[in-house]
Structure 1
Amino acid sequence: MTTYAFSQLDVFATGPLSGNPLAVVHDAVGLSDEEMQRFARWTDLSETVFLLPPTRPGADYRTRIFTPDHELPFAGHPTLGSAFAWLAAHPEHTADTVGQDCGAGLVTVRRTADGVAFAAPPLVRSGPVNDGVRAELAAGLRIDPADIVAAEWVANGPGWKAVLLADADAVLAVEPGTVPGDVGVVGPYPAGSEYAYEVRAFFVKNKVTCEDPVTGSFNAGVAQWLYESGRQTGPYQARQGTALNRAGRVRVERDDDGTVWVGGAVREFVRGTVDL
């Protein structure tokens, strides 16, 4: 048994305990795949991250990201939380950016005024879903197929399918059944509102549909779709977690070169050690 430094963070938070919690095990050299998966299952958070030395040129650290059931090549709120935790543990790193080595490749994370933001990785699957998948989405979300404005693949590690509805109220009214895999729903707020979109994200765990409090990977994928389709031009803020009595806020912007940045605030709530 070895003692490791440990952090538990709240990502995309707007206040205490308002975002998506994340467990981070620092300097996790020596842990086996089975030990990492077992600990992630024990925390029972949406993701647990293990920080390791980098293997890719340009990276400052490597992440392994586990849900309670399996490992992910990339996930959004673990990327932000990992960067925040690594920077807190390495005050000698004064650069504005850090490089994260993960299953999706090298991901750049930069400091922001109140947290961090990651450069959205390329989508591994994009484009409209076919009619069969569209019907499955409507059935799983328990909505009328005619209420779907558009539906696209926005997979970037998790196999997200994005469903655009008419407005934020329609998103908040969704009461899903069993969704077909990783499904996110987005709807716009009226012009001039504090937030541009309401977002919800669903996945199946142990054959039960669960809702994620705030989801960086889905927000990254849907932002790339919104920008590429011309539905969105400038920077915007999305709200997520409302249906779960959370108050997550996701900030999105796109550089002139087309890079989409997804960011938010991160707060550390637990710091200590764990014996594994």
Structure 2
Amino acid sequence: MRFSQVDVFSAQPMLGNPVAVVHDADDVTDEEMAAFARWTNLSETTFLLRPSTPEADYRLRIWTPGGELPFAGHPTLGSAHAWLEAGGAPAGEDLVQECGAGLVRIRRGATLSFAAPPLTRSGPVSDEDVDVIATALAITRDQIVETAWIDNGPGWVGVLLRDAETVLGLEPDWASFGDLKIGVVGPYADGPLAAELRAFCPGYGMPEDPVTGSLNAGVGQWLAGRTLPTSYVASQGTVLQRAGRVHVELVDGQIWVGGETRTTVAGSVDI
């Protein structure tokens, strides 16, 4: 089977977040997908399949080393890049991806960008959960400006801190996370970058995800046009020596999340 590894969300080689993409994977079993995702040991590994609905151009299954996800952002963009590069021809102007979260539209332009799917969980976070979050992040409650559920599949709870420097300085208490997937955001006072993000998800087999499309989508739905501009670039992965740049735009009530994609490994795989 054809195999691609695509770096997503960085204009500089090998400074984004890689996704492993297996093409023509209709005959790969769930057990084989899970085993291959554990073997790649990347934050996500995806499998391209024939769509089950005429509305979609292809179907995507997304796996972490710890299990399958209904949706994830950088795998969506990286897999779309790999599908197009392999000769995929969308039926319409945009690509339409079928995945566990439903149909996701992907816009082609200077870069690829996806339409953020609806949140599966939103709204306020309980006081009990905020206490757990503060403990997990090893900060005090008064350092938290705001929280909200911004879950579009992976389980994100959003935490707004005072500034980007506070986000960069976090040293989490991993033993206190339990099943929480915490996305932290802090604004920059000025400059080309609007905010710094970090994504903590030890339950998925990776303590911190380098650059996270789904989290940026949820943050955009939560804060764009309010704490953050309606169009902005977010930074992620700095602490992990990455240079993730995520472009977020609010257009007619729809959040679009995009960035650079480039193939770094191409070949074949035997599963």
Q: Distance in 2 between matches of 1:231 and 1:35?
A: 43
Answer yes or no: is 1:267 the counterpart of 2:262. Answer: yes
SS at match of 2:112: strand
Does the 8 A contact of 2:235 with 2:243 survive in 1? yes
| Cα distance in 2 between the residues matched to 1:28 and 1:87 | 16
Q: Tell me the distance in 1 between the aligned counterparts of 2:218 and 2:88.
A: 31
- The offset of 1:14, in angstroms, is 2.4
Measured on the aligned residues, the alpha-carbon RMSD in Å equals: 1.5
CA distance in 2, matches of 1:209, 1:108: 27
1:65 match: 62
Q: Distance in 2 between matches of 1:102 and 1:91?
A: 17
Is the contact made by 2:50 and 2:59 (CA closer than 8 Å) also made in structure 1?
yes
Q: Distance in 1 between matches of 2:5 and 2:92?
A: 24
For residues 194 and 93 of structure 2, what CA distance do their matches in structure 1 show? 28
Query: 2:185: which partner in 1?
Result: 186
Contact kept? 1:185, 1:199, Cα under 8 Å: yes
Spell out the pairing of 1:96-135 with structure 2 (5 A cutoff).
96-113=93-110, 115-135=111-131
Shift of 1:231: 2.3
Quick check: 1:197 aligned with 2:195?
A: yes
Matched to 1:266, the amino acid is T
Equivalent in the alignment of 1:252: 248
Query: 2:88, 2:72 → 1: CA distance?
Result: 25
Shift of residue 136, structure 1, vs aligned partner:
0.4
Counterpart of 2:51, as a letter, is P
Q: Deviations over 1:176-233 (max 9, x none)?
A: 0123421010000013x11000000001148x771110000000001100037x2234
Q: C-alpha distance in 2, partners of 1:170/1:239?
A: 14
The count of corresponding residues between Structure 1 and Structure 2 is 268
1:1-276 pair list within 5 angstroms: 4-90=1-87, 92-93=89-90, 95-113=92-110, 115-178=111-174, 179-180=177-178, 181-191=180-190, 193-205=191-203, 210-227=207-224, 230-256=226-252, 258-276=253-271
Deviation at 1:241, TM superposition (A): 0.4
Question: Where has structure 1 moved over 4 Å in runs of 4 or more?
Answer: 91-95
Q: How does the TM-score come out when normalised to structure 1? A: 0.94
Of all paired residues, the percent bearing the same amino acid is: 56
Shift of 1:124: 0.5
1:267 to 1:209, Cα distance in 2 relative to 1, 3 A: closer
Cα contact 1:11–1:81 (8 A) shared by 2? yes
Q: What residue ranges of structure 1 are gaps of 5+ in the alignment? A: none
SS of residue matched to 1:138: helix
Deviation at 1:145, TM superposition (A): 0.7
Query: Could you say if the C-alpha distance between residues 30 and 218 of structure 1 is closer, same or farther in structure 2, counting changes exceeding 3 Å?
Result: same
Gaps of 5+ in 2: none
TM-score by length of 2: 0.95
Alignment partners' CA distance in 1, 2:144 and 2:93 = 40
For residues 254 and 57 of structure 1, what CA distance do their matches in structure 2 show? 28
Q: Secondary structure at the match of 2:260?
A: strand
Could you say if the C-alpha distance between residues 246 and 51 of structure 1 is closer, same or farther in structure 2, counting changes exceeding 3 Å?
Answer: same
SS at the partner of 1:40? helix
Contact kept? 1:177, 1:209, Cα under 8 Å: no
Distance 1:65 1:91, change over 3 A: closer
